[in-house]
Structure 1
Amino acid sequence: MPADPQLDRLANATLLVPFESYDAPRWVLDGLAEGVAGVCLFHNNIADAEQVTALNRRLAEAADSPLVSLDEEGGDVTRIGQREGSGYPGNAALGAVDDPELTRAVHRSLGAELSELGFTLDLAPSADVNTVAENPGIGTRSFGADPELVARHTAAAVAGLQEGGVAACAKHFPGHGATHQDSHTELPVVDADRDLLFARELLPFRAAVQEGVQAVLTAHIRLPLLGLTGAATLAPSVVNGLLRTELGFTGTVITDALDMAGVSARIGIPEAAVRALSAGCDLLCLGRFVYADQVAAIRSAITAAVAEGRLSGERLEEAAERTARLRAWTARRPRGARVADIGLESARRAVRVQGAVPALRDPVVVEIDAPPGIAVGEVPWGLAPWFPGTERLDAEAAAPERVLASAQGRSLVVVVRDAHRYPATRALVAELCRARPDAVVVEMGLPAWRPECAAYISTYGAARVNGQSAAEVLGASAGASVV
């Protein structure tokens, strides 16, 4: 069948593509000129502010207002802070402070910074209500476990980002916070019936819609109590039913990455793309490693589905029109102003101390390693920038007697991240604290487990500013200053 340029262009208008390097390859620039909606940048595209600003300027020159997007949540999930850690504290910390005006101001400054760098769409905030502490995919990315709290901070974050100058995208609809699995590797289950879903998961998304959020990103989750046997991303009853009809959302629906196992492991990315569009999604986030040939295969699958009658031309036109409206919105959005040090100031407000931090004597600082979530990636965390000589330990292999020997006559500080999720970490920390009841434990994830120790410091996140805030508490105890 001969190619239909108009149909190809409509299919292109539904694609949000990644690419390989710090420079935009020719296939991306040509694709943008041929109607590809936009790009999604990851840390492999970002070296520093100067480089990414020049890259985004080149992308913007390739077409009329393409979407230039990234996952920049602040806190643990950061792209612009991937090398050193984020300068913003993240949702859990802001939820712990529970000052919606602060959340709005932090996100306004973040949005302004992203706009300065040339981004137009931020795939944030996470609107998930994290009711499962062991959740491997959300955790500190959520504002908390209380739906009302998450709703007011989601609305504040949406308002702030869009006042800053970028389109916000509430995720992961209809809610990923009650899962025990990671949709990057499998299809998680949310055991919620309709009443619970509306009272818990959907409350923050309703708040986001009422705040005027420009986009909503779907979750690759299964809802068996609503009769869903597959991913919500591919379900018309979720996209057109819950989101469009019942919540009244009229903006752009974006899929979570289609290379994730939760949506495409069994059917492949091209077929997942077709089914997502059929379900009512408008913009297909393809993932990190879906490049030129695969993008072409996805486009071909979409156009073939239209030719075969599996996907209506009207549905494809509707998706392209919604994406065009989003691009037009970003083109006329004024930029806000950054606020110096607002990230650090808010991280300081989030720190909680249980017990009394003893006066530290030449402290030995050890960090118990924790595997990064797939969404987080390899981002530096911990207290090493402020305590030179800090040692990172593997909980499975660490010898507690060696740690105790090195700390003899000195203070002991143990740094963990989501200790509640790792039995070996809890066992190691408990043994150290039994031998050293004067030890200080710093939790840089969710403070869901506390050992018996002299002081327990919670930062509600592992961003750079969270680490500095904890270091300041420890430094004040030691009589030292932290810069």
Structure 2
Amino acid sequence: MTVLHPGYEGTSVPDWLRRALGEGLGGVVLFARNAIDERLVRSLRAENPGTVIAIDEEGGTVTRLEVLAGSSFPGNRALGVADDVDLTRRVGRQIGRMLADLDITLNYAPSADVNSNPANPVIGVRSFGPAPDLVARHTVAYVNGVQGAGVAACAKHFPGHGDTVTDSHLALPTVHVSRDVLVERDLPPFRAAIGAGVRAIMSGHLLIPALDPELPATLSRTVMTELLRGELGFDGMLVTDAIEMRAVAAMFAPGEIAVRALNAGADAICVGVCAEETVREIRDAIVAAVRSGVLPEERLAEAAARVRALSEWYAAQSALREKARADLDEGVGLEAARAALTTAGTATLDRAPLVVEVNTRFNKAVESATPTGITAALTALFPDTARVQLEPEGELPELDHRPVVLVVHDAARHAWVREAVAGVVATRPDVIVVDTGIPAAPSGAAHVATHGISRVSAQAAAEWLTR
């Protein structure tokens, strides 16, 4: 049970999970749906003090603790645009501080993916950028920040999810590059993270024919053991991305995925959406594989030992966490968001606008309730601010005398978004465009790119528009 790390539904710990923790379940993954607070974490630790409690708290678009209001920290792309490694370290430290306050062991961050494909539907602004050296230095800074606060960091999604056009939540992406390109482009951030002492790495559900033409990385011994353990020298905890993701779930049942991942070299099996029956199924499959000789007992023991080693590392960092709790760097998120803004044009707002939110769909890693925050930030300045939402292929609303702020996401990736922007600009040349993702070329009377979604990014944009 040490190697299983499930999530669960609901705002209270289910009885089956309590029992499993008492029986030695090695970890739990928390999501916004669990209403995370100190009481919840205490109730988990009461059953198993050494359990690895994990969370995706990347900052920016992917936040579990601040999903309703938006993150207090800009995400990786914004940090990469600002390109101040000390600022990234400070942001990482404050995110680590938040998790230390809650007694959370492990942050599934940072994304060390090099976003080399602009059409990437699942990484995008979650990456520090498209250049290996940029991503490597900010990955190290973020890892140092989080782990300097006494919380384990996790570089993901090995060996790199940046050159994909498929979301692995939905299907299996294939990375069509040579091994040499992978080594030069995608691996440097992971090498750098390992050199910085990152405690965990998460595998990506990716098919990379140059490495293994048959199996996704998570299930490939060539990738997980020969490359990551052997060539790169990583000896920390290797955790899978969630195994209910269709990239692997369409291939095998949960139990077989777990057995294959453990055989490949994984130490912890992440199951983001889980019920008691699934845990039992996976446990029984692992036991049967050991008994039949399909999964060597020593491989399972090695995996469990690495999970325990991470838990023991966390327990030994209590002094760092106490120091971090006293080290409140309250303005660092907004400072970083301001540094990341790129702007064009001169238009400003002096009265309440109509905000038109162009509703591109966020990827599955983003909690559905996460707001762009632009409307809220402008409403705080102009209480009569109005908002309408434009769906794909929807009709543009009637644009009256009010100033118009058009909020888009990833205009560079979506032709229909660019067409919507062009249509509004043609009708209202005075429109202000705010892009919260990877932006297209500037247009409108003013163009503001936040390079990510967060509460502070929205605040920084609103400040600039009302300067």
Instruction: Report the CA distance between 1:420 and its aligned residue.
Output: 2.4
2:412 corresponds in structure 1 to 420
Q: Distance in 2 between matches of 1:377 and 1:325?
A: 31
Identical amino acids, percent of aligned pairs: 44
Give 1:367 deviation, angstroms: 1.4
Report whether the alignment pairs 1:285 with 2:255: no
The question of whether the paired residues in 2 share the 8 Å contact of 1:367 and 1:382 is answered with no
1:140 maps onto 2:129 in alignment: no
* 2:370 is the alignment partner of 1:373: no
Match of 1:347 in 2: 337
Q: Partner residue of 1:16?
A: 5
Check the 8 A contact 1:367/1:390 in 2, yes or no: no
What displacement does 1:17 show? 1.3
Q: 1:358 to 1:147 in 2, by over 3 A?
A: same
Contact kept, 8 Å, 2:117 with 2:163, in 1: the verdict is: yes
Q: Secondary structure at the match of 1:228?
A: coil
1:424 shift after superposition: 2.2
- TM-score of the superposition, structure 1-length normalised? 0.92
Counterparts of 1:224 and 1:320, CA distance in 2:
30
Cα displacement string for residues 281-315 of structure 1 (whole angstroms, at most 9, x for unaligned residues): 0000012x211111011000000001111100010
The one-letter code of the counterpart of 2:16 is W
The residue that corresponds to 1:445 in the other structure is 437
CA RMSD across the alignment = 1.4
1-side partners of 2:350 and 2:416: how far apart?
27
Equivalents in 2 of 1:348, 1:374: separation in Å? 27
| TM-score between the two structures when normalised by the length of structure 2 | 0.95
Taking the aligned partners of 1:245 and 1:326, their CA distance within structure 2 comes to 20
After superposing the two structures, state which structure 1 stretch, 335-344 or 200-209, moved more.
Answer: 335-344
Distance 1:259 1:142 in 2: 23
2:278 to 291, 294, 298: 294
1:44 — aligned with what?
33
1:311 is paired with a residue of what secondary structure?
coil
* AA partner of residue 327 (structure 1): S
Output the amino acid matched with 2:291: A
**Are residues 227 and 40 of structure 1, via their aligned partners in 2, closer, same or farther at CA, if it must alter by over 3 Å?**
closer
Q: Secondary structure, in 3 states, of the residue corresponding to 1:171?
A: strand
Deviation readout 1:385-444 (Å, 9 max, x if unpaired): 1334332322435433x433x2x3x32221111122322222111011122222211100
| Gaps in structure 1 of 5+ consecutive residues | 1-11, 477-483
Q: CA deviation at 1:358?
A: 4.2
Is the CA contact (8 Å cut-off) linking 2:113 and 2:162 kept in structure 1? Answer: yes
1:256 aligned residue: 241
Q: State the secondary structure of the residue aligned to 1:224.
A: coil
1:238 matched to 2:223: yes
Note if contact 1:383-1:471 (Cα within 8 Å) is conserved in structure 2: yes
Conserved 8 A contact 2:405-2:434: yes
Q: Which letter maps to 2:200?
A: A
Do the aligned residues in 2 keep the contact of 1:235 with 1:279 (CA within 8 Å)? yes
Give the 3-state SS of the residue equivalent to 2:377 in structure 1.
Answer: coil
Out of 378, 394, 398, the position equivalent to 1:403 is: 398
Runs of 4+ in structure 1 displaced over 6 angstroms?
none
Q: Is the 8 A contact 1:234 1:276 kept in 2?
A: yes
> Counterpart of 2:90 in structure 1: which amino acid?
A
What is the SS of the residue equivalent to 1:220?
A: coil
Maintained 8 Å contact 1:354/1:455: yes
| Structure 1 position 359, deviation (Å) | 5.5
The residue type equivalent to 2:461 in the other structure is A
The 8 Å contact of residues 222 and 229 in structure 1, kept in 2 or not, is answered as yes
CA drift at 1:30: 1.6
CA contact 2:258–2:269 (8 Å) conserved in 1: yes
Change (3 A) 1:453 1:61: same
- Within 5 Å, give how 1:438-477 maps onto structure 2: 438-447=430-439, 449-450=440-441, 452-476=443-467
Distance 1:358 1:240 in 2: 55
Contact 1:182 1:188 in 2 (8 A): yes
Q: Is 1:326 aligned to residue 310 of structure 2? A: yes
